[in-house]
Amino acid sequence: MAKIKIDEIRCKGCYLCITSCPQGLIKVSDRLNIKGTKPARFKGGKCTGCSMCAIICPDCIIQVYR
């Protein structure tokens, strides 16, 4: 099972990763980051490792582990 890691400190909250995840495994965090935005975060589940979230992220802050 794959897993993703999102750098929540650097996330600017565009949420493109949320809309691109075919499994719906990324959500908006309840906490604000240092930039004052609610970052995207991996909520767990059966990630297929498709890397769509990492590919679409404009800041390259998502890592996919297979």
Q: What pLDDT was estimated at residue 18?
A: 98
Listed in order, strand segments (DSSP E) in the chain are 3-6, 26-28, 40-42, 62-65
- 5-9: list long-range contacts, CB under 8 Å, 24+ apart: 5/42, 5/62, 5/63, 5/65, 6/39, 6/40, 6/41, 6/42, 6/53, 6/61, 6/62, 7/61, 7/62, 8/33, 8/39, 8/40, 8/41, 9/33, 9/34, 9/39
Ordered structural domains, the chain, with CATH: 3-65 (3.30.70.20)
Per-run averaged pLDDT (10 residues), the chain, 66 residues: 96 98 98 96 96 98 96
